[in-house]
Structure 1
Amino acid sequence: MTAFVLVPGPFTGGWVWAEVAALLREAGAEAYPVTLPGLGERRDETGEEAGIDLETHVEDLVRLVDGIDAPEVVLVGHGYGLFPVFGAADRRAGRVARIVSVDTALPENGAAWVDSVPDPEVRARLAEAARDGEDIAWVAPPRPGDRARWGSTEGVPAEALERLERRAVPQPAGTLTGPLRLTGAAAALPSTGVLCTANGGSIDLVRMLVESGPPQFLALADDRVRFLEIDTGHWPMLSAPAALAGALLRAAAGEGHRVTAPEQAHERPAHDVPFLLDVPEGYSERRGRVDLHLPDGERPRPAVVFVHGGPVAPEQRPTPRDTPFFLGYGRYAASLGVVGVTLDHRLHGLADYPLAAEDLTEAVALVRADPRVDGDRIALWFFSTGGLLAADWLAAPPPWLRCLAATYPALAPLPGWRTVESRFRPAEALGTEAGPPIVLTRAGLEHPAFTATVEEFLTAAVRNGTDVEIVDVPNGHHGFEVTDRTEESRAAVERAMRAVLGRLRD
């Protein structure tokens, strides 16, 4: 017999698992919906001065596992709940048959859940309190209008959503800020990721990350890791309890899709791979979120603003602008006589595109106001999923935007990215007004999900008579500057840069 220990996300209790637990029991399994100390009906049992933290929750789960007689224990974590799940599994690896993550990224040793909190306002508040030495005992649950930042509620019935809002309770702050301590035992256990497609997760996306993303994603191709999909939002226990119960039973049986790594996996982390062109370091200045790579000379110069994709975990180091990739692009532009601009924007989750757009607008205003910049000659260059941020500039292009470039971009939300606001659809924004010329770099071995958005965009461009120059890299993958360091890739980068600078100076 299999026993499922069901650990909920923040601000909730075991009650969210009620329907799933009933279905698992009907199937002959044991089910233990968990309410963690300080939450739900256990809010008062420890008292507000008990100093509840992540360790409290880990120890509580360990005691529960120790009391289960079933020969096979499967720990299931949703959102924050995956942190104590990993902590308990690490201490009781011999008793845990599998870890199941429900629409949640796997945590690493030393990580704190505050770094994964999808609401930037909460992250900023906790970071400010830590800097000021302020002791915050509780974190308030999200307001109804902020719920989308914590994950898509698509498919949740109105009554269940009302219950989710009504029964939400504050989360002990120490559970969010305390680091997860792991020995490595949990990492050796089999695991299954249940991906919720309406919240942006999919097996196709995992495959793309493994095939063309940073090397840390290669762990997702381990033979012990499987994936299942549910076509619903971030709360499948409320929106699709039968589908989730079925997925958990399949996971316990070892079923699911395995993603395989490419034959030639990269041994060096992406942030450690040098830029593929040899460019001088030059002089740069840091202005908040923005770095300016400045060419020699006194007169004002045109500027190219390089915009990274994402989502990028808020704790990721180095941040995009400090990677050799964007340092290289910024320095390359400066070596050719224009100001190269890089920035770190706040695209930490699919609901953060408005924040990222705000950061980009502020960065462009800062750049244009600099006396060393010719504010009437600006180019914006978008990479990967940063391409969605091009929509605002295509819908209402300012006269000083002389060129818009995009390299292996997503030009419409990827499959399952339904929580991305409707305004971030460049293929639909194109042609609403006469816009700037576009330089589009395509990878011939691109992931089909990206290719489909580019084809949709090019169809709209032809229909609207948009000036598009295409730079093709026939043998290149997504991120070819890192994955395919060939003469073909170098030539493509050089050609794209010449095309952008030619339009800036025209």
Structure 2
Amino acid sequence: MTAFILVPGMFTDTHVWRETAARLTAEGDEVHAVALTGTGGPRPATADTIDLETHIADVLAVIDSVGGGRPIVLVGHDYGIHPVLGAADRRAERVGRIVYLDSGLPQDGVPALAALPDQALREELAERAGTDGAHGELPAPGRDAWQRWGSTEGVPDAALDRLTASAAPQPLRTLLQPLRLTGAAASLPVTGVLCNAGGSSIEMVQRGVDFGEPTLQVFTGPRVTFFELPTGHWPMLSLPAELAEVLRRAAAGEGHHLVAPDAAQPPAHLRPFLLDVPDIPRERTGHTDLYLPAAEGPRPAVVFVHGGPVSAEARPTPRDWPALTGYARLAAGQGVVGVTLDHRLHDVADYPLAAEDIAATLELVRADPRVDGQRIALWFLSGGGLLMADWLRRPPSWLRCVAASYPVLAPLPVLGPVDARFRPVDAVQKAGALPVVITRVGRERPEIAATVEEFLTASRVCGAAVEVIDVPNAHHAFETIDLTQESRDAVHRGMRAVLDHLAV
């Protein structure tokens, strides 16, 4: 049998594990729920004496109390993964597996602050640390504020009441002290348990691996498994029996394995565009590229806006990805100026910066004498869809059409809070007669598909001029992965719709 050491997240004490622990012990497993100092364990006179090292010591004490004959599975929920990894690094020989329970992916030298879902709060706490040395505590959430820290879907009212009643303030130093890892535990078996209601999924992680995200490549090894639970951020309260079963299976090495990218093949986003397009050269100015048609006189322009967030270190940058260059050359081949740009959407907090970059590109493009500045279309892709909101809310007269392919049209909880300005589902009621063309894929990730449906419902209520192009058998970012006639037809139909609104 296994010894499970369960480490809670922010604000929470050992009571959250009560039902899951009972189910594990009923099967003969040894269970230890760790009482972290200051939240679930002893509370010193001042929180300023409690830091991440304090919580690592709490976990180490429990590890050292477990008899040597049983394999230890360390389970870290939310913030709890930070002291779990710190302890595993120092007792790697005692640990049989680490379970990331709906948590982030802490890195050496990075504080837990970086994993907080609220960007505004991250900035506020970082500023406080710089001025008063991180004294004090972060107040525990009230009953209606837990959603700020993760989805409460599935949590019964009584359990939410208990969670709130037992919650304790989080000492700030636990969030601001960097995690220090030597790498001693880097080869230990790992299981990730993802909670779908927050937007995370195995498919999403696999796409990140395929995309080449460097922090995810380590999770493609044979000793790494994944599970999903159809619930919110607190599965020990919403699905305690199911969580216990998943933990037992994880301890046995079961679970889904990610597929490592084929080194002989480019990642999905760098594969060829699904259409043969003219080899039209680009003109590059700053962060903007123009693909000019072989046509006389000022021509309309279509500006293609990539999705994200995309790492600032990604190479090639998005405007050189085959889907973007393919769309731009397709547009130029049909008589309009195709425009691509790199914008600064590297984090969910960067939507305002990306919006500034789009505005700068539009100013540059409209001032070009080869462009008809009164006939412009914007075409957004994927996570760039949130950037539609500004243009729906106050469409200028020269904007003849807005298009979006497999777009995100409301913020996704899994990515963290986004500035309320960037909500197309709200902005569409101000769009008036502005034509909107949406390309919807049938094999979309559920959390993204839900935002599209919400947008379409809102557009019907307000009477917005929305046209939907359905691609039933296509996936997100289908232009380089679904090389079918259905997909090719959809791209042509989308382009034709946009060009019609530009009267080309």
Taking structure 2 as the reference length, what is the TM-score of the superposition? 0.72
Matched to 1:38, the amino acid is G
Structure-2 change in CA distance of 1:380 and 1:14 (3 Å): farther
Partner of 2:104: 105
Structure-2 change in CA distance of 1:269 and 1:107 (3 Å): farther
Partner of 1:162: 161
Query: How far did 1:345 drift?
Result: 4.6
Partners of 2:135 and 2:448 in 1: how far apart? 48
Partners of 1:169 and 1:379 in 2: how far apart? 51
Query: How far did 1:378 drift?
Result: 4.6
Q: Do residues 60 (structure 1) and 55 (structure 2) align? A: no
Q: Which moved more, 1:384-393 or 1:219-228?
A: 384-393
Q: 1:168-200 CA distances to partner (integer Å, 9 max, x unpaired)?
A: 333222222222222323221111111212111
Structure-2 change in CA distance of 1:278 and 1:484 (3 Å): farther
Q: Which moved more, 1:144-153 or 1:2-11?
A: 144-153
Instruction: State whether residues 76 and 100 of structure 1, in contact with CA within 8 Å, keep that contact through their aligned partners in structure 2.
Output: yes
Partner of 2:377: 379
Structure-2 change in CA distance of 1:244 and 1:424 (3 Å): farther
What are the equivalent positions in structure 2 for 1:1-20 lying under 5 Å apart? 1-20=1-20
Structure-2 change in CA distance of 1:333 and 1:14 (3 Å): same
Instruction: State whether residues 303 and 341 of structure 1, in contact with CA within 8 Å, keep that contact through their aligned partners in structure 2.
Output: no
Q: Which moved more, 1:448-457 or 1:209-218?
A: 448-457
Instruction: State whether residues 382 and 407 of structure 1, in contact with CA within 8 Å, keep that contact through their aligned partners in structure 2.
Output: yes
Instruction: State whether residues 194 and 229 of structure 2, in contact with CA within 8 Å, keep that contact through their aligned partners in structure 1.
Output: yes
Structure-2 change in CA distance of 1:337 and 1:412 (3 Å): closer
Query: How far did 1:465 drift?
Result: 8.6
Partner of 1:246: 245
Partners of 1:63 and 1:81 in 2: how far apart? 15
Instruction: State whether residues 469 and 493 of structure 2, in contact with CA within 8 Å, keep that contact through their aligned partners in structure 1.
Output: no
What are the equivalent positions in structure 2 for 1:127-142 lying under 5 Å apart? 127-129=126-128, 132-141=130-139
Partners of 1:266 and 1:479 in 2: how far apart? 21
Q: Find 1:283's aligned residue among 273, 282, 285.
A: 285
Q: How large is the Cα RMSD of the aligned pairs?
A: 5.2
Query: How far did 1:113 drift?
Result: 1.8
Structure-2 change in CA distance of 1:441 and 1:468 (3 Å): closer
Partners of 1:340 and 1:129 in 2: how far apart? 40
Q: 1:379-420 CA distances to partner (integer Å, 9 max, x unpaired)?
A: 333222444665786698665432334345457999999x99
Instruction: State whether residues 389 and 428 of structure 2, in contact with CA within 8 Å, keep that contact through their aligned partners in structure 1.
Output: yes
Structure-2 change in CA distance of 1:454 and 1:106 (3 Å): closer
Partner of 1:199: 198
Q: Identify unmatched segments of 5+ residues in structure 1.
A: 285-290
Of all paired residues, the percent bearing the same amino acid is 43
Query: How far did 1:248 drift?
Result: 1.3
Structure-2 change in CA distance of 1:261 and 1:495 (3 Å): farther
Partners of 1:38 and 1:453 in 2: how far apart? 39
Q: Which moved more, 1:492-501 or 1:162-171?
A: 492-501
Partners of 2:424 and 2:224 in 1: how far apart? 33
Matched to 2:2, the amino acid is T
Matched to 1:150, the amino acid is W
Instruction: State whether residues 431 and 466 of structure 1, in contact with CA within 8 Å, keep that contact through their aligned partners in structure 2.
Output: no
Partners of 1:206 and 1:27 in 2: how far apart? 31
Report SS of the residue matched to 2:92.
coil
Partner of 2:86: 87
Q: 1:239-269 CA distances to partner (integer Å, 9 max, x unpaired)?
A: 222221222122112222223335x247889
Partners of 1:107 and 1:209 in 2: how far apart? 17
Partner of 1:221: 220
Partner of 1:287: none
Instruction: State whether residues 56 and 86 of structure 2, in contact with CA within 8 Å, keep that contact through their aligned partners in structure 1.
Output: yes
Report SS of the residue matched to 2:194.
strand
Report SS of the residue matched to 1:195.
strand
Partner of 2:229: 230
Instruction: State whether residues 212 and 478 of structure 1, in contact with CA within 8 Å, keep that contact through their aligned partners in structure 2.
Output: no
Q: Identify unmatched segments of 5+ residues in structure 2.
A: 274-278, 293-297
Partner of 1:404: 402
Q: Which moved more, 1:175-184 or 1:75-84?
A: 175-184
